């Protein structure tokens, strides 16, 4: 049985991070100016249509003919120029603010690496590797904590987009891109890959978990631990070809093609957001990932029912 898909709630109209807020404010300015222009033009047009419509009687008389008006021509040349200057300057200011954010010495840097179709997440300075769920500290007025993301791809172009946090930035193979986010409200933010990258592009969800400084430190400390060794099912798992693609820290599983499983059960979803991370769903995924997310790189391992259960039970210990 396939679990129902997880709802994606993304809202560009509720920005909660500095770059997204600046971009939204600029958008509203542009919408406001365009709306004012529309109202003036449409209003004048409507007025003219009504005021100068053909009268019901006296059909033969020509209305007064007017040729040219310097004042009006100057007005409709100068006003648009002023509007364009204002919009250009406002846009340049936001672009500078987003692109040239100075990076504080102690800023958190995270590498986000796009794969078909999941996100590898590495904290190089902290020695933590995870997937699909990016944990970062909240930024407050007393403790500003912007997070800088180095974006890479191992295969095709992807795009990192969490609408409430920032605009999109592409992940291009062999061309690291940078972006930063600075959420001011704790919570879980959902985004998606925003560059078509193949069959499961729509199922390449990302979660950003924004938490207090303390909770973030605890999360990091926990992610750095190795899972307890000698769990039931561990031997079977390590004897299967799972280990060629997946890593479980402290074991012989050191593959890097697939997501790091060291703390698999600390994540909310499986398959980059395709379903919630429950015991039943995990079993379903191990049995045949291709029915859950067709085209993904994990093959059906042709395990027996008993083996599927054992591998599932072992993975469930990877908290």
Binding site for ligand CUA (CB under 6 A): 114, 117, 158, 193, 195-197, 201, 204
Task: Kindly tell me which of 90 and 156 has the beta carbon lying closer to ligand CUA.
Answer: 156
Q: Are 233 and 311 in contact (CB under 8 A)?
A: yes
Q: Are 277 and 285 in contact (CB under 8 A)?
A: no
Task: Kindly tell me which of 195 and 260 has the beta carbon lying closer to ligand CUA.
Answer: 195
Task: Kindly tell me which of 114 and 227 has the beta carbon lying closer to ligand CUA.
Answer: 114
Helix (H, G, I), strand (E, B) or coil at 138: coil
Element (H or E) spanning 22, and its range? Answer: helix 18-51
Q: Cα separation of 44 and 72, whole Å?
A: 13
In sequence order, what are the beta bridge partners of 190? 207
Helix (H, G, I), strand (E, B) or coil at 198: coil
Task: Kindly tell me which of 47 and 196 has the beta carbon lying closer to ligand CUA.
Answer: 196
Task: Kindly tell me which of 38 and 196 has the beta carbon lying closer to ligand CUA.
Answer: 196
What is the separation of C-alpha 150 from the centre of its chain, rounded to a whole number of angstroms? 14
**Minimum distance from CB of 272 to ligand CUA (Å)?**
9
**Minimum distance from CB of 88 to ligand CUA (Å)?**
32
Q: Cα separation of 27 and 20, whole Å?
A: 10
Element (H or E) spanning 286, and its range? Answer: helix 279-287
**Minimum distance from CB of 193 to ligand CUA (Å)?**
3
Task: Kindly tell me which of 263 and 293 has the beta carbon lying closer to ligand CUA.
Answer: 293
- How many CA atoms does the CB half-sphere of 48 hold within 13 Å? 6
**Minimum distance from CB of 269 to ligand CUA (Å)?**
16
**Minimum distance from CB of 17 to ligand CUA (Å)?**
21
**Minimum distance from CB of 179 to ligand CUA (Å)?**
16
Task: Kindly tell me which of 97 and 155 has the beta carbon lying closer to ligand CUA.
Answer: 155
In sequence order, what are the beta bridge partners of 169? 160
Q: Cα separation of 315 and 207, whole Å?
A: 21
Q: Cα separation of 203 and 116, whole Å?
A: 10
Number of H helices, E strands in the chain: 7, 12
Q: Tell me the helix, strand and coil percentages in the chain, rounded to 5.
A: 35, 20, 45
Task: Kindly tell me which of 137 and 258 has the beta carbon lying closer to ligand CUA.
Answer: 258
**Minimum distance from CB of 244 to ligand CUA (Å)?**
23
**Minimum distance from CB of 171 to ligand CUA (Å)?**
8
**Minimum distance from CB of 192 to ligand CUA (Å)?**
8
Tokens of 280: 């039943």
Task: Kindly tell me which of 6 and 154 has the beta carbon lying closer to ligand CUA.
Answer: 154
CA nearest neighbour of 187 among 168, 159, 215: 215
Q: Cα separation of 247 and 261, whole Å?
A: 6
């Amino acid at each position: 049985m396939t679990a129902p898909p997880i709802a994606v709630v993304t809202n560009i109209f509720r920005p909660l991070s500095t770059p997204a807020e600046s971009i939204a404010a600029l958008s509203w300015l542009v919408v406001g100016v365009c709306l004012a222009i529309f109202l003036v033009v449409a209003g004048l047009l409507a007025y003219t249509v009504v005021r100068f419509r053909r009268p019901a009687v006296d059909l033969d008389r020509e209305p007064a003919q007017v040729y040219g008006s310097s004042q009006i021509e100057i007005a409709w040349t100068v006003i648009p120029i002023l509007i364009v200057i204002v919009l250009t300057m406002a846009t340049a200011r936001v672009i500078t603010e987003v692109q040239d954010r100075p990076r504080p010495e102690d800023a958190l840097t995270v590498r986000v690496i796009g794969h078909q179709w999941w996100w590898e997440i590495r904290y190089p300075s902290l020695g933590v590797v995870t997937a699909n769920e990016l944990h970062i500290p909240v930024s407050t007025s007393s403790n500003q904590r912007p997070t800088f993301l180095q974006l890479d791809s191992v295969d095709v172009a992807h795009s990192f987009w969490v609408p409430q946090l920032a605009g999109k930035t592409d992940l291009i193979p062999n061309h690291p891109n940078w972006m930063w986010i600075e959420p001011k409200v704790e919570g879980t933010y959902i985004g998606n890959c925003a560059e078509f990258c193949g069959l499961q592009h729509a199922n390449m969800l990302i979660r950003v978990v924004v938490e207090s400084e303390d909770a973030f430190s605890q999360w990091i400390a926990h992610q750095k631990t190795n899972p307890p060794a000698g769990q039931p099912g561990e031997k079977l798992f390590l004897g299967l070809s799972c280990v060629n693609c997946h890593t479980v820290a402290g074991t012989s599983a050191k593959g890097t093609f697939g997501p790091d499983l060291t703390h698999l059960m600390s994540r909310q979803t499986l398959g980059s957001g395709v379903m919630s991370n429950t015991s039943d769903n995990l079993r379903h995924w191990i049995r045949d990932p291709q029915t859950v997310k067709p085209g993904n790189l994990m093959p059906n391992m042709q395990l027996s029912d008993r083996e599927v259960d054992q591998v599932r039970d072992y993975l469930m210990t990877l908290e």
